[in-house]
Structure 1
């Protein structure tokens, strides 16, 4: 956590944030993944306010954030009382995943307890839950003593915020929005989402930092991809979750991916965009050079070839490039391998939703 975050992390500020949540207000706060826009998960009016402020369709479910039990550094922590008010039943697998990865960037989808508000589940009978690892998020949740729904603190469909300044620029018009500053987010992309609601097979609904391979090696639990379960479970049964729209995480500047060594091919697909192009290149690659395209002004942006570092800087880079007035942003296609699946997923959705007219296909 960066210095500026810890200075502001005073008891008085957290108490004010807790009171704001209790009064039905919104509080933006840092998690290890991205900044969330939080509201009391038991307050229907506060939840509606989140949808209004974000411009998010109300049939989109939200993730409930919970505090870890007070003694969560012990070997065996009892998470059951924490989850009991929210979920209908807790399987052995669920408890294994929780013991291994909470607090952390893993969201689990359960059949919901009947008391869970329809406003936060998008009318579904499932609820998505995680315990964030960021110390400020944990402190806020512990003092609040309840669940907080918190989608990313940005306008619907746009690039998620990874610093307090991002949140401020996203909601400049909401002057009284309380924002807890916890420095830059370490993980940088949203949590992995696993569906446990069907009872038979854990299913990966959104890739993230925690991969099926890591889950298997730490817990012995096999997580399936929806495509692997085609015959076993029809996709129509799969719960809707955050970040599953085709267009999402998108900059206003047109964004495209290029295959290794194919920058010029990517440019030739845009005959009308010939002026200023930002090209992200791997730190391990040699320089592109400008040969062959005299009408284009290239600027190279170096991106890390390590998947975790790439993820932690992805939204920061997209936001910065979006504000620099390029005509086109080109990103290299991430390499094969499940550790890249999370950023590949975000980049594909960002490309699809990008460009000045992105508001028109947000709805698709």
Structure 2
């Protein structure tokens, strides 16, 4: 599929380079007119379309090969835009939302609220709720402002593959499928936003991400976990996600991962397979015969999040047949890392 000569706008200095401002204006005009532009956020790169234009949003699904029953997140650049896309179902919901916005926006927290009539069904997969966030990235905020509309944006990759954390990843997947990509350098966080459903009786984390459950509890008290509904209110819940081309096996649990990982390496090397291992820096020297990439220290959850998707893409570029990934502890940002690894593994899990 090659419909467009995809532009690549390099943003070296957002406020010191007139060319950068002109590029963002051009990209905003493309979105306003119904086109698709990829852009950086603090989490991963997003693929943006006019959130109030159902036909424009349909193009996201076509470009990504994304199932139409998988809802999108709407990105805004200022609080006033909330009224265009979401409503409050009660005074207490408004108070809760304001408290969360004060604490975490702009930032990697997506809120699920009842939608307005202006939001087309293509954005919400026919649901009566909409997921909204304000990204913490100057290029993203300037783009949304230039477009003059809320921007619907999933990750800017082919559906099911590892999310893109650089413009090069976007071009690898979507060159020819979209009009352009604004290149703001590598994403800082490396995993998607936390999705919090505040229409539930107890605010419920539908997808763990950059704002941890511990952070949320400090601000609003009780928080629940789980998707819950048959029709997911959040992206990233229903289908296989974040997966490299090679089969991925996740080694997880409270025990030492070295022995089961080395056993898997040995078995597959005997079969003539090329094996990759995503390992902590502490354990990386233990894995002979494999292609080893490090995610940092076992206690460095931020490092693991920042390197995860790029490492999975690098393994594919290196042509490995099998990826074995060491798990991390499920606390803080580690919960988001493990969520992504389990989805990428698609059931291929070894317990320690």
TM normalised by structure 1 equals: 0.83
Q: Could you tell me whether the CA contact under 8 Å between 1:245 and 1:349 is conserved in 2?
A: no
Alignment of 1:185-334 (within 5 A): 185-198=187-200, 200-217=201-218, 219-226=219-226, 235-236=228-229, 239-259=232-252, 260-261=257-258, 262-267=260-265, 273-285=271-283, 287-290=285-288, 297-305=289-297, 306-334=300-328
Please, which runs of 5 or more residues in structure 2 have no aligned partner?
1-9
Instruction: Give the equivalent residue in structure 2 for 1:139.
Output: 142
Can you list the C-alpha shifts for 1:243-302, whole angstroms capped at 9, x where unaligned? Answer: 113511100011112242221333477587443211222113362153xxxxxx322222
SS in 2 for 1:301: strand
Change (3 A) 1:115 1:172: closer
CA distance in 2, matches of 1:191, 1:273: 39
SS in 2 for 1:252: coil
CA distance in 1, matches of 2:329, 2:131: 30
Post-superposition offset of 1:190 = 0.6
Instruction: Give the equivalent residue in structure 2 for 1:120.
Output: 123
CA distance in 2, matches of 1:21, 1:300: 41
Q: Which moved more, 1:264-273 or 1:92-101?
A: 264-273
Change (3 A) 1:239 1:255: closer
Q: Is 1:347 equivalent to 2:350 in the alignment?
A: no
Q: Could you tell me whether the CA contact under 8 Å between 1:209 and 1:308 is conserved in 2?
A: no
Change (3 A) 1:194 1:254: same
Instruction: Give the equivalent residue in structure 2 for 1:82.
Output: 81
Instruction: Give the equivalent residue in structure 2 for 1:362.
Output: none
SS in 1 for 2:85: coil
Can you list the C-alpha shifts for 1:335-356, whole angstroms capped at 9, x where unaligned? Answer: 23243110100011111189xx
SS in 2 for 1:236: coil
CA distance in 2, matches of 1:106, 1:158: 22
Change (3 A) 1:289 1:65: closer
Q: Is 1:5 equivalent to 2:8 in the alignment?
A: no
Change (3 A) 1:289 1:210: closer
Q: Could you tell me whether the CA contact under 8 Å between 2:43 and 2:210 is conserved in 1?
A: no
Q: Could you tell me whether the CA contact under 8 Å between 2:123 and 2:152 is conserved in 1?
A: yes
SS in 2 for 1:91: helix
Q: Which moved more, 1:329-338 or 1:52-61?
A: 329-338
Please, which runs of 5 or more residues in structure 1 have no aligned partner?
69-78, 228-234, 291-296, 355-364
Can you list the C-alpha shifts for 1:302-325, whole angstroms capped at 9, x where unaligned? Answer: 221200111011101111111111
CA distance in 2, matches of 1:55, 1:312: 25
Count of residue pairs brought into register by the alignment: 324
Post-superposition offset of 1:59 = 1.3
SS in 2 for 1:323: helix
SS in 1 for 2:233: coil
Q: Could you tell me whether the CA contact under 8 Å between 2:207 and 2:236 is conserved in 1?
A: yes
